[in-house]
Structure 1
């Protein structure tokens, strides 16, 4: 990817760039606290409604088998998000800006188009997930629920007015609600812990069985999300750091802890589905609304279904916030074009709403869940086009200086990239 001559890119996420103070001394925990936040915004994308559809389908159909895919996806995500944070801190560029600065114009344009497709696929999952939650909790028709999701742009605008730190606090609060809901579900599902531990070990059947492979790649697409790589490399620059080395270390701790929480939630969704549905012989449960209806009677806990739907609604709203930020970063970074946040949100959401309304109106709830899973497979197919530039840029000393990836990290990152590409090629071959 030869460099091209471009004007110096603007500040990433300009209105909040270096807006959050970082203590220059004092105890370690206080300095770490100043960096905690961006990782949790990124972690939201790892537990959005798209994850729910793939995890429920995987747990009910194959028990704990695909738990190893959730674990491996999460470990890959930890490495890739650490590289993303390193790029933003060391190079002072988000991934979109780096692509614009160091790729030829045709390549940069193609990467922008693919990034936008990924954001639309992600937004489609958020639209459908939120609409399903509204139906389950309040009985709102699915088509009307899809259209109501257009109004959440006002939630984003309201949050933005109070500063980036408040936005982070809102996200963390919703994450804690989701985690609490699934701790409740896990306690009452009472899974076989021996089987859970065995499920964390990969088996060859995941690759050789087309049905398992399709869901495994869906889980990968739902876990390692392309837009999060763009998002993270930008929002780490909200900290007014002076010591880059400390900033890289603390930002990596932030994202690793946050993704640990994401793993707990994703694993919990699959484990609850496996313990409740698969062990009872209900291997056909794939729809979120079907899981909602069956949880309470099969678990024997009246509140189980409501708690499940509350967590889904919180997940959809959380994903809405971070999806908007990622869309803004991608458009500004690739095109050097700034749109008002409400305009960017409405454009992305309307593009997602049109296919969602069409599919839901034509096929009902079953079509909605299939579209959710398909959106995650689309995300997985887009993933290499974000990962390859990220790994390549962070390995280049001319961009990263002393923070260029060490040899062991380069080998690990390229191995992860090869696994992602190999899984995608396998999926495409199977579909053909």
Structure 2
């Protein structure tokens, strides 16, 4: 087995074995995989799951505001942007899976192995900030859903979200498959809720198809461009890259070249299918907003509460708003699981520091709840809406710190061997990274200094 000796002046940790524990040590290689020769569908089902956990980050409450605003203001025009951002996500998540399966290192561990300690501390701090920002969106989304469904005040709803630590502990004690089953169940709820709402709204198929085609309006209209940047910036979640590079290793595939190649094919298929589901959800939010609000001249709908209040009256169906809120609640709960795992992976990977799951969860959730409670008490619902936007800006700031190392690592033949990505995929990955970085810089500039 290759050692960690320097190759070409840089450390080669392909198939590395060191004193470190593997990523997610209690769950690494814990899910059995049928032996070679078994039916393809049986082997695929054994690998199915991580992609759906990753897809949660692409439809969390933080994405809802941009999709609602895009649909109400510009109809179906920005569907092409959602499609583009989803294709970018498919490529980046495939690279994250490649890194984890080939090297046996998650992205945090890979960064720790490659960069000096000061750089790693910066990367760790940036990622922890992003996870707290993601948790902030989950707290707000769940609190809003509880308020809409049961009339629970936002402050109380935010405090209730702290109880999810017990749910996480229960699921983790039951094994990784239990976590995946929980996530997939809630994804099914979200899918069904939006499928029913789309049927009720009966949007014109021709207009939807046209919306998926590139439109000049996206770049010529400053307001449309600003929303497009927001959609792309809020879609690719940086912590998902750390998460995916780790959880693909939960499968007990053969740690040989052939075993890794087979596992990689199944993992990429899994994540691609799951991210197509995320595409449907995000597109469905925008389509619903376009068909119900934009088509009736309501181009001012940007906030979740506003959409909830108008859906049933404008569709003429009482259950429409309820389905919308149920999907939001499922989205917030789902994101809880993946953010918790990502936080564990990042802390253990960068710092080799292990905390009990409930301790880490309470700290992270507490840091998210405090600003929600304070802002809600001072400014009410309008304050939480602004806080939701701010959480997406913070996520955008961290994204380059995850994307650039990932693309660099999977392009490096000294680290990946024959699994290093080829010239075409390498160029594609760097172009995607450049687009994301440039658009996020513009998003930040427009957020702090005003859109052009």
Q: Does the alignment reach a TM-score above 0.5?
A: yes
User: Secondary structure at 2:26's aligned position in 1?
Assistant: helix
The corresponding residue for 1:307 is: 323
The corresponding residue for 2:34 is: 23
Contact 2:233 2:440 in 1 (8 A): no
Contact 2:97 2:244 in 1 (8 A): yes
| Residues 1:135 and 2:151 aligned together | no
The corresponding residue for 2:51 is: 39
Change (3 A) 1:380 1:202: farther
Deviation of 1:192 (Å): 1.9
Distance 2:441 2:233 in 1: 14
| Residues 1:49 and 2:61 aligned together | yes
Deviation of 1:10 (Å): 2.0
Distance 1:113 1:180 in 2: 38
Q: Which runs of 4+ in 1 moved over 4 A?
A: 1-8
Contact 2:233 2:443 in 1 (8 A): no
| Residues 1:336 and 2:352 aligned together | yes
Change (3 A) 1:2 1:213: farther
Distance 1:47 1:419 in 2: 21
Deviates more, 1:153-162 or 1:372-381: 372-381
The corresponding residue for 2:433 is: 417
- Residue among 10, 13, 23 paired with 1:12: 23
Distance 2:413 2:237 in 1: 26
Deviation of 1:261 (Å): 0.5
Following superposition of structure 1 onto structure 2, how do residues 143-292 of structure 1 map, counting pairs within 5 Å?
A: 143-242=155-254, 243-292=259-308
Distance 2:206 2:346 in 1: 44
Distance 2:242 2:265 in 1: 19
In structure 1, runs of 5+ residues without a counterpart are: none
**Cα deviations by residue, 1:188-230 (Å, 9 ceiling, x for unpaired):** 1111222212221233443454433333233223321000000
Contact 1:225 1:379 in 2 (8 A): yes
Deviation of 1:3 (Å): 5.1
Q: Aligned Cα RMSD in Å? A: 1.7
- The count of residues paired between Structure 1 and Structure 2 equals 432
**Cα deviations by residue, 1:117-148 (Å, 9 ceiling, x for unpaired):** 11111101100000000001110001111111
Contact 2:393 2:444 in 1 (8 A): no
Contact 1:127 1:353 in 2 (8 A): yes
User: Secondary structure at 1:227's aligned position in 2?
Assistant: helix
Deviation of 1:19 (Å): 0.5
Contact 1:218 1:373 in 2 (8 A): no
Contact 2:136 2:391 in 1 (8 A): yes
The corresponding residue for 2:404 is: 388
| Residues 1:67 and 2:79 aligned together | yes
Deviates more, 1:277-286 or 1:358-367: 358-367
Contact 1:4 1:103 in 2 (8 A): no
In structure 2, runs of 5+ residues without a counterpart are: 1-8
Contact 2:197 2:320 in 1 (8 A): yes
Following superposition of structure 1 onto structure 2, how do residues 358-373 of structure 1 map, counting pairs within 5 Å?
A: 358-373=374-389
Deviation of 1:323 (Å): 0.5
**Cα deviations by residue, 1:348-375 (Å, 9 ceiling, x for unpaired):** 1111111111221222112212221221
Deviates more, 1:370-379 or 1:6-15: 6-15
The corresponding residue for 2:364 is: 348
Contact 1:221 1:381 in 2 (8 A): no
Deviation of 1:166 (Å): 1.3
Change (3 A) 1:92 1:154: same
